[in-house]
Chain A
């Protein structure tokens, strides 16, 4: 080589161009806040670290919103972004946060349950870093997170994740998946501290109902459903039948497997008096054999490869050229949650939870999800929380 110094200088310049260009985008994503306009129903805002030691000052700490009714009654907790690449859960929770008014009982909402995952990006699959949805006042931007917490916050991964307390052997990656670390422990890895803090909320506040809101692939059998353990099964079945009869969409009931540990729908019920439910709406974006993972695909759920597979009966949900748009997914979640609360209240009138001003499936499909979000620039400052 004639001029190694010059070659090295060029390579070093290229190295810094790649490093800075890529690094800045990752930094901005990790520190991008979504403004949440708390609605008239929000009575107080706490942190998850108020309930669990070891979370304060970490990226796993997250906001917990309380919507207390004027009359005492039961309590329900809603968690979304357990998997931060399933945005229909987040949008359903935020929609409720910005609009719901509780008349009796209390609603507790943790929209960014895995806060670290919400600020993590997914390498390799070409996922977008952000997505936008149209609203009545402009476009609202959200971070697209990942399924698992960022290794910046919990590292290294073990060779095998040993679930606490059952000692079941799970995949190494599940150490950063908060839907495998229930019921958690105060001195465990960061994600176990997150689930422990949530369990503490349920135990201290005497929460009656817990709903963990998700999305699942159309090729995965546990999709478009309510996952419920034995103790929640009756209410889940009634909710499923009612939304089918009254609102015309399917959300069947899947039993929570007793031998598969760490999941919210199993451990919450086993380690507290709370009735757990896990909701899955179909999200074609997460399926593997699809076209490019674009924002448009994330929002409308339309994909020619999935359409072809649907014609060969390879999917677990009905799928046609209309795809599976975000409005349907969010609408299903809102209606199923309202129905679970209604069924629980019917069975337990002394612990009933009455909520109003949450739109149901048909309204959300008609008006779009963005219609229900408020403009943070016009809201009172003390009602806007960066999340």
Chain B
């Protein structure tokens, strides 16, 4: 795997952590919770090398 691709996977993992943390911290808005998880789906699929 080229080094640039490894960096992009690291960036993706960082975004996953940020979104997951925002989801955990959110206590009031159901819409925001759902949106955090929706945005997570393609990022998790990429980290799992499914899409």
Chain A interface (Cβ < 8 Å from any Cβ of B)? 1, 4, 7-8, 11-12, 14-15, 18-19, 22-23, 26-27, 30, 121, 123, 151-152, 155-156
Contact = CB atoms under 8 A, between A and B. Distances in A.
B51 A152 contact: yes
B45 A19 contact: yes
Interface of B: 4-5, 8, 23, 26-30, 33-34, 37, 40-41, 44-46, 48-51
23 contacts: A1-B27, A1-B28, A1-B29, A8-B23, A14-B37, A15-B37, A15-B41, A18-B41, A19-B41, A19-B44, A22-B45, A22-B51, A23-B50, A26-B50, A27-B50, A30-B50, A121-B51, A151-B46, A152-B46, A152-B49, A152-B51, A156-B4, A156-B5
A26 B30 contact: no
Nearest to A18: B41
A121 B51 CA distance: 8
Contacts of B37: 11-12, 14-15
**Residue from A15, A27, A30 with most neighbouring chain B CB atoms (10 Å):** A15
A251 to B, nearest CB: 37
A33 to B, nearest CB: 18
Given A121-B51, A156-B4, A7 B40 contact: no
The CB with the most chain B CB atoms within 10 A, among A12, A18, A19, is that of: A19
A156 B45 CA distance: 16
B23 to A, nearest CB: 7
Main secondary structure, interface of A, reads helix
A127 to B, nearest CB: 14
Contacts of A11: 30, 33-34, 37
Contact of B33 (A7, A30, A152): A7
Q: Which 8 pairs of residues, A with B, have the shortest CB-CB distance?
A: A15-B37, A23-B50, A26-B50, A26-B51, A4-B27, A156-B8, A155-B5, A1-B28
A184 to B, nearest CB: 16
A12 B27 CA distance: 14
Contacts of B29: 1
A1 B4 contact: no
A155 B8 contact: yes
Contacts of A27: 50
Contacts of B48: 23
Contacts of B27: 1, 4
B45 A23 contact: yes
Contacts of B4: 156
A13 B2 CA distance: 35
Contacts of B49: 152
A15 B5 contact: no
